[in-house]
Structure 1
Amino acid sequence: MAEIERESMEYDVVIVGAGPAGLSAAIRLKQLDPDLSVVVLEKGSEVGAHILSGAVLDTAGLDALIPDWKEKGAPITVEVKEDNFYILGEAGALRIPNWPMPPLMSNHGKYIVSMANVCRWMAAQAEELGVEVFPGMACSQIVWGENGEVRGVVAGEMGLQSDGTPGPHYEPGMELLGKYVFLAEGVRGSLTKEVMARFDLSKGHCPQKFGLGMKEIWEIDPEKHRPGTVTHTMGWPLGKNAGGGSFIYHLDNNQVYVGFVVHLNYENPHLYPYMEFQRFKHHPMVAELLKGGKRVAYGARAISEGGWQSIPKVVAPGVAILGCSAGLVNVPRIKGNHNAMWSGIHAAEAAHAAIKAGRASDELSDYETALRTGPVGRDLKKVRNVKPMWSRWGMVPSLVLGGLDMWTNQLFGLSLFGTLRHGKSDAESTGKARDFPKITYPKPDGVISFDRLTNVAFSFTNHEESQPCHLKLKDPEIPIKVNLPEYDEPAQRYCPAGVYEVVEKDGKPTFVINFQNCVHCKTCDIKDPSQNINWTTPQGGDGPNYPNM
């Protein structure tokens, strides 16, 4: 195919991703210098379309960025009034009192929010300052400079046919070039992966760890609705099969967020995370809450869980990695949006200083320093051992020892355990099918629990079917030749959207990819035991269209 010619546009800073990190960076840049040219490129059909988060928001980052956010009408109104934590058994629940928990775990003074709506509001604030925000603009390639630095991205390529060749309505997209490029793509971003590999940014750091978060929005009986109530659970139904837990957040308008997280370092390849979520809703405590209600939305995404030990080097020539792309979630607090905002603020301040000094396309080392020594580093360092403790010793020991470790960090700024390291990657943690029992899951009842494809319809996902499949297999034979006999092809189960199937065709098993169902969670890219699936971005505007996740 002939070399594609593209028009290019120059900016001071090009930002990939209109999440809390990317938008915070854009706003801060314009606050520092209104004359800076800043563009934010978002692959979703609108800002917020691909944003899925719990979310109980710690407003610390937003307080620093826009101190008068209340006066400016931010959609942040439901303050946490009640904070509950339970360990579940199959039929009962044990309430863990709040008093033994370190203060950093308290949700009082925080807000239950839709981060999709918060990001829509932030985008409006950015545009008022003169930021150019372009949704529906998937960034499919890095533009490399003459000396190997990141110069920009290719955005807006549309109309490729299934074989990858230009179709009749092909649009080549544009090269958006910047003195600096910020990658704020969220978890396991495709461009971030490429940059991290090119510059070996994970060298000297632990592998990133992940969880799969699934979430439904329910409208419930008004008599059961308690705005501001936050409930977290651990234990049943996962038991010893996997780490994880749930969240139930009462927001306004008789709505409740019901979420379930499964740590992706589970060993049993027969585990079916989506069905664990559906089974969880039949616990008496949860089923009683949902009885008489209706589910109105569904979605899923991977969550970075590696914390302090797994943050890679976040800068390379011409580029900075922000937010969940860098892995800034505080796992025990189940919060990352505040750290994403801080990362955007720090990156913006470093880029502004560099541009003011006449620099371009070099390493923003000041951003790296600010991230590790500032509020993000302080937040993550205190809880750094909780996740590796859970991985090594299980739920109950990690509750006791993790609590002790957080207390000593909170009170004395030190850990009795030092810094524990993460072990294998989540893909390497997957065991062989023959070594683990199959798990039987109850059939969804269609009232409280739902089959996967029915629920995917409530993510409002859409992909242009004529485009190339964005889920690339490095070797098309591995799913049937390796993954099926060795691992019972776990892609059939770990995907929360039913993208992958093994079907009989001409008397032989065949691996089928239904990419139209993809909700962009990236679990396949993370958990595939052969690391054979590469998630890349489809054309702009495709994927889920989350209303207020």
Structure 2
Amino acid sequence: MERESMEFDVVIVGAGPAGLCSAIRLMQLAQADNKELMVCVVEKGSEVGAHILSGAVVSPRALDELLPNWRDEAPRGQAVTADEIYLLKDAENSWQAPPALTPHTMHNQGNYIMSMGNMCRWLAQQAEALGVEIFPGFAAAEVFYNDDGAVGGVITGDMGVGADGEPKDGFMPGMILKAKYTIFAEGCRGHLGKQLMAQFELNKNTAQPQHYAIGFKEIWDIPAEQHQPGLVVHTGGWPLTDASGGGYLYHAEDNQVWVGLIIDLNYRNPHLSPFDEFQRYKHHPLIANTLKNGKRVSYGARAIAKGGLNSLPKMTMPGAILAGCEAGTLNFSKIKGNHTAMKSGMLVAESIFTALQANRANDEISDFDDKFKASWLYDELYRSRNFGAVMHKFGSKLGGAYNTIDQNLFGGKLPFNFIDLGSDHAQLIAARQMPQIAYPKPDGVLSFDKLSSVYISNTNHEEDQPCHLRLQDSLIPVQQNLPEYDEPAQRYCPAGVYEIIRENDGQPQLQINSQNCIHCKTCDIKDPAQNINWVVPEGGGGPNYPNM
């Protein structure tokens, strides 16, 4: 296919915190050096921020470095005023942990309860004011390689292709966006990043596989008398008896609270439904008493890369570099990945600018590793390197005790390294060997079904387009996953995308409702056969989160 092409100095894939901060830092450096740069950001969402979902309590550390006056101009949200941490003993009872018995990394003084979607919209304005070109609604569908095998940019997805793979009226082929260097900042489990890791063996020397969780979030309007602006609540324990993770309740601005549950994807029981665990969570009195008489206004879910330092891949390759959650820079001991993604993007930008100053192109950035290891980002990730592995190895009580001692008394520098070698997708046990889980029906007041939830995520895809959830082997779901694991895709997907249906002959079939997909990537991660490959749909498709 003949494709038009455009040339840039740097192409950035993804208008999230890492991608936008790298774009801003590049242009700041160029202006300081009186150098002209052509920088382009491509974003698969219909607008910047449409696909951004994060808790989020944000550390301002990276923003203070990048844009010192951001508090005067940006949608900074609500400053944190108080922290509370609870162990939910069961469906009715809880115990509040005193600050001395919780890792200091969980304390949030000086942080902000912030909509990262709105922050990214503001960051995009700052980038554009500096001369960055941002193209929302254009999905980077393929990596473009130069003749020598180096990354030379990306190819955007074709627009106007029917479900049969044939062009429709108004068909528009994707463009080749060529670059001297390409930054991949797609977020957790980016589909191009996954290809690059295989192509360049970027995971070859990692200490452990990447580990993931699925994070849910809902925004609620609540009565003023139940609202405590700036209160941050974190919970552990119930309802997660068959999985590890924890919940949160953040009192944001304007009588809104943000409630969510994070569930580690190394769970073993294939009967577990993360979505239903979240719906059940909201019925605990600690949460329900805040939500009562309120109204749910938004819903979403997203995978989280939580392996930390021990799971970081090699981030550089000829012509390209990974940034932010694409690489897995989240600090799980803080449950925060935004400030680390921002700093990652800034470090990437500084290394690339040095290469451009030397008139280099499409080679491997040689100084990034040293720059990364000399940064506060590396120091943060090093101090929290054991946090997740210890919880998996010893459980929430003993693991939590170790982490409290390590973080509070030794600053994360106890001389031990704990490694979690098990891949999340390989942890499921046969359905017949695990207990069934009876989830209560949603009451439509605190708990809801998947389809009504997807509806308020504003998810939309052009129906007549190729399915972006690709099965490597179409027989595996019914012939392998169904008898062994009762096809867990029916439950781990938080949007009702996967269904086992039976036709008139009674034979089971897997039905993929790809229009429901909220781009969480859980299926790509948790499928036990690693048979599902998530690729980008037509640009602009997916959720349209207003304030996530």
TM-score normalised to structure 2 length: 0.97
* Contact kept? 1:156, 1:171, Cα under 8 Å: no
- The answer as to whether partners of 2:142 and 2:156 remain within 8 angstroms in 1 is yes
SS of the residue aligned with 2:268? coil
The structural deviation recorded for 1:429 is 1.1
* Matched ranges for 1:437-448 at <5 A: 437-448=435-446
1:528 matched to which residue of 2?
527
| Correspondence for 2:541 | 542
- After TM superposition, the structure 1 = structure 2 runs for residues 188-203 of structure 1, keeping only pairs within 5 Å, are 188-203=189-204
- Gapped regions of structure 1 (runs ≥ 5): none
2:79 touches 2:110 (CA, 8 Å); kept in 1? yes
String of CA shifts for 1:114-169, please: whole Å, max 9, x gaps. Answer: 00000000000000000001100101001111111100101142011112232222
Verify the 8 A CA contact 2:249 2:258 in the aligned structure 1.
yes
Q: Which residue of 2 aligns with 1:52?
A: 53
Q: Deviations over 1:207-232 (max 9, x none)?
A: 10000001100000110001100000
Aligned counterpart in structure 2 of residue 30 of structure 1, from 17, 27, 30: 27
Q: Give the distance between the partners of 1:371 and 1:304, measured in 2 at CA.
A: 19
Which AA in structure 2 matches 1:211? A
The residue number in structure 2 matching 1:18 is 15
AA matched with 2:80: V
1:404 aligns with 2:405: yes
- Gaps (5+ residues) in structure 2? none
C-alpha deviation, 1:284, in angstroms: 1.1
Conserved? CA contact 2:500–2:508, under 8 Å: yes
- 2: CA distance between counterparts of 1:403 and 1:380? 16
Secondary structure in structure 2 of the residue aligned to 1:430: coil
SS across alignment from 1:249? strand
* Correspondences of 1:223-242 after superposition (within 5 Å): 223-239=225-241, 241-242=242-243
Partner of 1:7: 4
The answer for the alignment partner of 2:472 in structure 1 is 474
Q: How far apart are 1:102 and its partner, in Å? A: 4.2
Report the AA paired with residue 546 of structure 2.
P
**SS, match of residue 33 in structure 1:** helix
Root-mean-square deviation (Å): 1.0
Q: Deviations over 1:57-81 (max 9, x none)?
A: 001111111011123x111041100
Q: Is the 8 A contact 2:105 2:333 kept in 1?
A: no
Residues of 2 paired with 1:226 and 1:479: CA distance?
47
Q: Evaluate the alpha carbon distance shift between residue 422 and residue 365 of structure 1 in structure 2; reply closer, same or farther with a 3 A threshold.
A: farther
Work out the CA distance in 1 between the residues paired with 2:143 and 2:357: 25
Give the alignment of 1:268-347 within 5 angstroms. 268-347=269-348
Kindly indicate whether the alpha-carbon contact (under 8 Å) linking 1:502 and 1:510 is maintained by their aligned counterparts in 2. Answer: yes
- In structure 2, the residue matched to 1:461 is 459
> What is the distance in 2 between the residues matched to 1:372 and 1:476?
44
Q: Distance in 2 between matches of 1:271 and 1:77?
A: 35
Letter of the aligned partner of 2:236 in structure 1? M
- Match of 1:152, SS state, is strand
3-state SS of 1:148 partner: coil
- Selected match of 1:501 from 491, 496, 499: 499
Does the 8 Å contact 1:136/1:156 carry over to 2?
Answer: no
Partner Cα separation in structure 2 for residue 167 and residue 119 of structure 1: 34
The 1-side partners of 2:532 and 2:157 are apart by 23
Report how far residue 408 of structure 1 moved.
4.6
3-state SS of 1:427 partner: helix
Cα gap change, 1:423 to 1:380, in 2 (>3 Å): same
| Paired residues of 1:408 and 1:414 also in contact (CA < 8 A) | no
Post-superposition, which runs of at least 4 consecutive aligned residues in structure 1 deviate over 6 A?
none
Task: Specify which of 483, 486, 489 is matched with residue 487 of structure 2.
Answer: 489
Choose 359-368 or 133-142, whichever is displaced more: 359-368
- TM-score by length of structure 1 reads 0.97
SS in 2 for 1:489: coil
Residue 276 of structure 1 and its aligned partner are, at CA, apart by 0.3
Q: Once the 2 structures are TM-superposed, how far is the Cα of residue 374 of structure 1 from its aligned partner?
A: 1.1
- Post-superposition Cα deviations, 1:394-414, rounded to whole Å, max 9, x if no partner, equal 11111101111223541xx62
Distance in structure 1 (CA, Å) of the matches to 2:496 and 2:238: 24
Tell me what 2:255 maps to: 254
Partner of 1:179: 180
Task: Give me the whole-angstrom Cα distance separating, in 1, the residues matched to 2:483 and 2:131.
Answer: 56
User: Which letter maps to 2:26?
Assistant: L
Contact 2:77 2:115 in 1 (8 A): no
Partner Cα distance (1:53, 1:414) in 2 = 28
Residue 40 of structure 2 aligns to a residue whose secondary structure is: strand
Equivalent in the alignment of 1:386: 387
* In 2: Cα distance, 1:398 partner to 1:542 partner: 41
Could you tell me whether the CA contact under 8 Å between 2:41 and 2:134 is conserved in 1?
yes
Q: Which amino acid is 1:472 matched to?
A: R
The CA distance in 1 between the partners of 2:46 and 2:352, in whole Å, is 28
Aligned match of 2:149:
148
Secondary structure of the 2:99 match is coil
1:103 shift after superposition? 3.4
Give 3-state SS (helix, strand or coil) of 1:197's partner: helix
1:346–1:371 contact (8 Å) kept in structure 2: yes
**1:388 partner SS:** helix
Paired residues in the alignment total 541
The residue type paired with residue 199 of structure 1 is F
Any idea what the Cα deviations from partners look like across 1:278-303, whole Å, max 9, x if unmatched?
00000011111111000000000000
- Does the C-alpha gap of structure 1 residues 105 and 284 become closer, same or farther in structure 2, counting only changes over 3 Å? closer
Equivalent residues of 2:103, 2:403 under 8 A apart: no
